[in-house]
Each structure stands twice: as structure tokens, then as C-alpha cells.
Structure 1
Amino acid sequence: MSANSAFTKLDGLNRRLEAIEHAQSMLGVDEAVMMPVGGGEKRAETMGVLAGMYHEMATAPEVADWLGDAEAEPLDEMQKLAIREFRRVHTNMTCLSADFVRKQVNARIRSEQLWRELRPSGDWKTFLPAFEGVVATAREEAQLRADVLGLSPYDALMEQFDPGNRVADVAPVFADLKLFLKDFIPKALARQEEKLAARPLKPLNPPYAIEKQKALGLVMMEAVGFDFDHGRLDVSHHPFCGGVPTDIRMTTRYTEGEFITSLMGIMHETGHGLYEQNLPHEWTHWPVGRARGMAMHESQSLFVEKQIARSPEFWEWAMPHVREKLGAEALEGWDLEDVLAHVHLIERGLIRVDADEATYPLHVILRFELEQQLIDGSLAPRDVPEAWDAKMREYLDLSTIDNMRDGPMQDVHWPSGAIGYFPSYTLGALIASQLWSAIERDLPSVREDMRNGRFVGLNEWRREKVWQQASKYAMPELIQRATGEKLNAKHFEEHLTQRYLR
């Protein structure tokens, strides 16, 4: 490509945009991990300015001209894919003005900061005005996008997290899954009760020193392929994976009372980190070189947590490492079945991030249904606590009516304006199960490999089929190419049935 070609101009633009994204990402990580409370106001202002700069650069008038010219240039296949994906992203970005983006970022950051302050006390009344501001800007964004994209407002928001996601496709899958789970969960709980009556759950033996838990987590991260030359692990209020592919920042949270929750959180975020670290580095400054939406991202984190780290084979390998890092007394007198009884424990609970894989989808479906109502205006922000409680009672037979902290204030997503994101979590679980089925077909030795702490084959398969494909294809096509069939929820249902009923 010549220095004056439109593609070259777009390549330079994408490198500048990537630099701003890198700065935004690191400021976001610092805010969650390190920033003192008093830094919040100036940080919100800075993030708003950077978001405005990014938006102005990406939507400048000449960019549309460059895109049109590049589409007429002689390009190779990857360059054509890069232009196609940039066109999609550009269309979505030009839906919003720079002034609106600045206003929205400010509302989101201030709301999230207030949430971090008020969530421990569950002070919904004080938080509500900030939340109402976030919902108002989300509704405005949804309508602006819908008008340009020709979608419903909520579909237009889902499009930002998972290109191609539509309520018309997702809602029936979730409705069927709800029916399956309402039948499955009582059966699984009854089976669990029988097993625990014959072999009671062994109590954990705390305290587990946080430094020892971190050491254990680092060993597990490295074993499954995380590259510490290009990433690190810290602590935050809400676990996340951020940064950029060459500098991944992961966080978890610890309690000395038990170690399994934190370890599973670490493995979950490691799945996100592996995806980012193994994207095609020569294309990460272009949208085509990024992860293919949040459902695919969640499939990678859930794959590591559920398919790998909660499997019997993983724990056969892991138990000696747990004893070495936490101390011989950590699992004193335990065998594999004792560990699996904890790792596979099913409980109806209030907290999404602590939920087991059987009840978790119901937490997501609840949020999916409520946030559609928030966007279409049929649910006012002030009425969320009552609506949330009603669905918790229906789906999990639990109440949150006097517990805002563990009810609608438990997640960072709505305070930060990430509405339309939640469906990705359960779609990710469906994809993860389907990927595992394909891997077992292609790599018959995979369970024996895990039993011996060998994860290279698993990673090579995913690197070829998922990670290196980045955003070349829409999610349905990517799944079809990787597994040989369209997204099929039966793999997830079979996974649960096999693990908990057989």
C-alpha cells in the first residue's frame, strides 16, 4: 500500500485511536485498583475529555471519505475484512455526537463512583438520582442508535456488545432455557441432597492467608497459559479483566474464610486474559483484530472456569498444588470427591458472580428482562427494587426487598451504563459448552491431558479456531466455523445433565 492510499490513512488513524484506548483502559484500571477517593472528580473529567477526543477523531468527516476510497482499492482478503468491520464500527460511532459522548461518559463515571461508595451500605435512595441519570442517557443513546441502524432501541444497545444479537433470537433461547432450568434445578438439588446425606460436605479449614491464595492463583494462571510478561493480577471491589492485549490487567477479590470463590474468579478472568493475549497482534489496532463481542469473550472466561477449572480432571492435577501453596492443612483428610462436592455445589443464592453454573443463567435472564423494560420506559429506575424482588422470588425463591446491596446494587454494569451486556454472559455459557463438545471430538485425549496439567492442546485448538479469528466473522459464523454447527443450547443442557445428574 502506498503512503497516500486510503487504507494507509485508516491504518494510521487506527493506531492513534488505539493509543487513546490504551490510555483510557489504564486510567480505568487505576481507578478501580489504586485511585484514592478524592481523585474521582478529576478522573471523570479526564475520561470524558479522552472519550470526546476519541470520538471526534474516529468520526471526523474525512474518515467516511477514506472508507469509501479504501473499499475501491485493491485489497487482500484480510484488508477487505478490516475495512468491512471498520465500516460497521464507524456507522455505530457516527450515531452519537461528541457532545453526547462527553455527557454520557461523565454521567456513567460519576454514577459508578457513587455506586462504589454506597454499595456496601445498600443506600439505594442516595444512589437513585445518579442511576436515573444513567438510564436517561442510555435511553437517549438507544434511540439515537436505533434511528440510524434501523433496529429497536434495546437491540441497538445489544449490538454494541454483541454484533448481531437481537431480542427476537435471544429471548426464545432464554425462555426455553428457563423452562429447562426450572425442571433441572430441583432434580439436581435433590440428587445433591442424597449425595450429601451419604457423604456430608466437609468444612473448609480457614483462615486462608490472602498472600497464599494469590500465590496459588498465579500458579494456576501460568499453568493454563497466561503470559505474565504481558499481564498481572491485582485486587479490586469487582473482579475484571482490562488493559490491552500486550498489557492485560486482571483483578480478583479474596476472603480468608474460603479460597474456592476467589480461585474460580481468577480462572474466569484468566479466560478473558488468554483471549486478549492471543488475538492477532498485527491487527489489534483495527476493529477486525479485536475480540468478537462479549458473548464470545464470556465463552472464553466461562470455558476456563467451568469446562476446565470445575472438572474432576483439573482437580486431580490441582490438589497437590493447593496443598503446596495453602499449606498441608488446607485440604487435610480430603479426597477428590470432597473437593468436587464444594466445586459442584448448587445453591439458590442472591449474588450473580457467586452463583453456580446451574442457577447463574436465571440471574442473567432476570437482568435481561428488566433492562429491556428500563430502555422501553415500562420500568422506572425507582421501581427496580420491587421488580427485581418479584423475579428473584419467581426464579430462585429468594427475596431482596430489604437488601439493595445484594439486589439491584450488586453489579457494576448498570451504574456504569453497560445496558445490553447481560445476555452475553449466558450466551457465553452456551458457546463454551459447544466449544468443549467440539474439542472432545477433535482432541480425544483432552481429559487425560488436563489430568496431567497439560493445557497446550486446548489452547492451540482455541487459538486456531477462536482467538486468531478475532472479528473476521459475525458471531454465528465464527461458532459455525469453530464447531461445525450453529449455536445449539443442547450442549449446555447436556453439560449440566452429565455433571449433576449422571
Structure 2
Amino acid sequence: MSYSALSQHFQQQYHLQHIAAICGWDQATMMPAGGNQARAEAMSTLAVLSHQQLQDPRLADWFAAAESPTNTEPALTAEQKISLQAMQRQWRDATMLPSDLVGAFSLAGSRCEHAWRSLRPANDWAGFLPLFEEVLNLSRQVAAARAEVLGLSRYDSLLEQFEPGMRTATLDPLFDGVKQWLPSLITEVQAKQAGDRVLQPQGSFATAQQKALGLEIMQLLGFDFNHGRLDVSVHPFCGGVSEDVRLTTRYDEQDVAQALMGVIHETGHARYEQGLPAQWRSLPVGQARSMGVHESQSLFFEMQLARHPAFIAKLAPLLVQQFGEQPAFSADNLSKLYTRVKPGLIRVDADEVTYPAHVMLRYEIERDLIEGKLQAKDLPERWDQLMQQYLGISTQGNYKDGCMQDIHWTDGSFGYFPSYTLGAMYAAQQAQAMQTELGSFDQLISQDLPSVFDWLQHNIWQHASLLETDQLITQACGQPLTANAFKLHLEQRYLR
């Protein structure tokens, strides 16, 4: 049967992706620096092999046969038809790019990302620029090839990889709407918080104890340690596969919140991965729907849950247990501390009110970079311009805290950044729908935290890619994507 042959073929593809994911995790966490060139070449070879497997000429015949039931080809179930479409999408994505471009793109990304790890701390824009120009050039080639096949703009063709169905025609008015109310909200919140007395925790905070705290919080959040682990990397991430999820964070012994909130954020990603339906995991339909949906889970955990007063009431005694009692660890002070709003340079450290400004800035820049309206050499100037416009902060001459701060563009992940704010909007919608159905977070978090995860499992995780994004969100939340629940959440948390 053709569908069975396709399933076996894509399960092999999943196994190759598994190997690549663990190699990538090791490169970011354990690998000695001297191994990078060999690792980059090995991962490039693996990317080409994976790509070539997806270009197997038998696939076209199998897809055609599976779509046309005969005596030897039984009709597919409704779920199998959706699965077939997901396989076709992955196949289409692979066949539209030549193998030599895939290999060159992977190699350039590996080199640029590895170099970025030392060039960023050195604030070395001049050293980074030629590596970045190579990645951007290849990314534009990828975008052009995808755009021609899909009938989309170059940027939309990349956005489709991370947010299937999403287009700049939707993002532009959505983000323009946020820009109309976000600046005044930031100003109002800062004015309201101006009189608050907030105590900073007095450290230092040993890395070993921070890790112990993170592991305890992961357990509280339902992470399955039999199928995952926590490590350290320059940039926090969640990698691996559903059966073997790899989380990372970074530690600052003067700031316990950075690693703690990073762990909670990545645990949201991990719970989604671990909650995907086991019977579909090795096929495209059993994997995460989109990066926006993925980010909705991490932001649900970090913003909707972890910064809620009821959760902070659970967190406070755990901090005391690890680091000793001090006034800054009172639940009331922690609530104020973890909801402070102050424009800053670093996206990953931003509060949830100013965070959308960081994302919209990156969206506008990467869109123009891919469309050829902005050149790599002009990136620092544009970055500084938009940071001053959106957050009132200059990054002139400060590349490491400006346009070099993120890992995404180093490996050509253009089209990813909108997922963060889309995720925040989806998370707010999910929180609103969950509380309408189950009761307030005050009650759920303090008395029945597992019911929160049960709701997510039932409404989000178990559906994987069996539903289109709009279907998934509408079914779970009662309406498709909107910024209204996000705006209401910010107003209720920060202005009331």
C-alpha cells in the first residue's frame, strides 16, 4: 500500500531529524570548540542526506496512488488524509530546493552560528558581517526558490516554514494595531509602578542551587524526566525530539530570575513536545503545528502561569529553601519584581509588555533583509533607529546587545520572529478560554495545577498538526487569532 510505504519513508526521515537534533544540542552544550568544523561538515552531510531522502523519485508515485483508492489501495481514513497532506507539504518543501543549496545553507549557518558565540561577546560586528552576509545571501536564494514554487513573496515563503498559512498581509495590520496601543500602555504601566518599593534579591546564587531550583520547578510543571533533561548553553533553547527533549538555560550567579524564567519558558515548549500524540509522533502530522503555537505554550508557562501571584506563592518558599530567607523572597515582592516593566536592550530579558516591540522590530528588519530592501551592512543603523522609535533606547556601537544578540539569523532562521508575539496572543486566548471553562487562575494554580495541563493536553497538545492553526485556536478558544485577549491580559495584570 502506498500510504504504508510513505509512512515508513517519513518515519526514516524522522529518525534522521532525531540524529540532527541531538547533534545540534551537543554542538550547543557539550562539544569542544575544536570539533566545530568537523561537526559542521557532518551536519551539512546529514542535512543533504535527509534532503535527498525527501527527493526520492518513488514519493511522487506513492502520493498519486494514495490519493486514488483502488482495489489494492484502500481508501484512507480522515486522519490518514490529513497525515498525507502533511507529508506532501514536507515533500514539497524539500523538492523545491536543490541539494547543493541545502548543503551550502547548512554549512554557512553552522559556521556563522559557531563564530557568533565568540564574536558577539567581543562586540565584533566587522568579524561577524562577512559570515552573516553569506548566510543572508543563501537565505535569499532559498526564499526565491520557495517563492517561485509557492507563488508567494520571498518573505512569506520563509514565514510559511514556521507559521503555515500566515502572511505579511495578516501580520502587518495585526502588528500595526498593537503599535497603536502598546506605547501608551508601556508609559501608563511605568507611571503606575513608579511608586512601588521593590527589593532585589541579594546574592550571589550558586549555579548548582539554581539548577536544583529549576529541576524542582520543572517537576512541579509536570516535565517527564524519563524523556528529557536540562543543560547549559549560550542561548536557552528546547531541542531534541518528543521522546528525548533537551532543554537548556544559562546561569548568572548575580541574577536568579534569568535562569529560572528561562527554565520555565523552555519547559512550556517541552511539555508540548512530550504531549504530542504518540501514535503520530514519527510522522509530520504528529509534530507541532507551528512555531506560534509552540511559543504559545512556552509563553503560557512563563507569562500566564509563572508570573501569576498564585504561582509565585508556590515559588517563594522554594527560593527560600535553596538560598535562605530574605525580604526580597516574599511572595508580594516577587510578584512586583517579576512584573516590572522597563524598556531594555535584550529581547530574552524583556518583560511581557515591552516584548512585542522587540519582536515587531525584528519582523520589520528581517522582512526587508529578505526582500532586498535592506542590506546586511546597514543592519546596525536600522536596528538603532527602530530601538529608539519603539523603546527609546540607542544601540549605536553596541552590536552585542543590538543586532548581534539573537542566534536566529546566524543560521538563516528568517521568518521565525513573528512566532513570539503570535504565541503571546495565542497564549492569552488560551488562558482566557481555560478560565472561562475551569475557573480563575487563583483557584486553578493554588488548588489544581494539573488541571491546567490537562486542558492544554486536550485542547492543544493532542491535536499536533491534525488541525490547521485557525481551526486549532478557534476550537480551543472560541475564536481565531486576535490581539484583544492579549491586550486585556496586559491591562488587567499591569493597570488594575
From 39, 43, 50, the counterpart of 2:46: 50
Quick one: percent identity of the two aligned structures? 44
> 1:234 aligns to what SS in structure 2?
strand
- Who is 2:16 aligned against? 20
From 470, 473, 488, the counterpart of 1:494: 488
- Who is 2:59 aligned against? 63
> 1:403 aligns to what SS in structure 2?
coil
1:205-284 paired onto structure 2 within 5 Å: 205-284=202-281
- Who is 1:151 aligned against? 152
Alpha-carbon displacement from aligned partner over 1:170-226 (angstroms, at most 9, x marks no partner): 1111011111111110001000103x2xxx211311011111111111111111110
- Who is 1:382 aligned against? 377
State the distance in 1 between where 2:482 and 2:239 align: 29
1:367-406 paired onto structure 2 within 5 Å: 367-406=362-401
- Who is 2:341 aligned against? 346
State the distance in 2 between where 1:325 and 1:443 align: 33
Aligned-partner residue type, residue 278 of structure 2: H
CA-CA distance at 1:282 after TM superposition:
1.4
State the distance in 2 between where 1:337 and 1:325 align: 19
- Who is 2:472 aligned against? 478
1:39 maps to 2:35: yes
- Who is 1:160 aligned against? 161
1:117 maps to 2:118: yes
Q: Tell me how large the CA RMSD over aligned residues is.
A: 1.0
Aligned-partner residue type, residue 346 of structure 2: I
CA-CA distance at 1:445 after TM superposition:
5.3
The answer for unaligned runs of 5 or more in structure 2 is 70-74
Alpha-carbon displacement from aligned partner over 1:210-256 (angstroms, at most 9, x marks no partner): 11111111111111110000000000000000000010000001111
Aligned-partner residue type, residue 78 of structure 1: E
1:424 maps to 2:419: yes
User: Is the contact between residue 216 and residue 326 of structure 1 (CA under 8 Å) also seen in structure 2?
Assistant: no
The answer for unaligned runs of 5 or more in structure 1 is none
1:408 maps to 2:409: no
- Who is 1:83 aligned against? 84
From 438, 463, 475, the counterpart of 1:469: 463
- Who is 2:128 aligned against? 127
User: Is the contact between residue 249 and residue 259 of structure 2 (CA under 8 Å) also seen in structure 1?
Assistant: yes
- Who is 2:361 aligned against? 366
> 1:248 aligns to what SS in structure 2?
strand
State the distance in 2 between where 1:118 and 1:241 align: 23
State the distance in 2 between where 1:59 and 1:46 align: 20
CA-CA distance at 1:448 after TM superposition:
1.5
State the distance in 2 between where 1:156 and 1:42 align: 31
State the distance in 1 between where 2:23 and 2:334 align: 39
State the distance in 1 between where 2:24 and 2:304 align: 30
User: Is the contact between residue 348 and residue 396 of structure 1 (CA under 8 Å) also seen in structure 2?
Assistant: yes
Moved over 6 A (4+): none
1:357 maps to 2:358: no
CA-CA distance at 1:317 after TM superposition:
1.7
- Who is 2:139 aligned against? 138
Alpha-carbon displacement from aligned partner over 1:258-313 (angstroms, at most 9, x marks no partner): 21121111000000000000101111111100000100000000000000000001
More off after superposition, 40-49 vs 73-82: 73-82
1:437-448 paired onto structure 2 within 5 Å: 437-444=432-439, 446-448=441-443
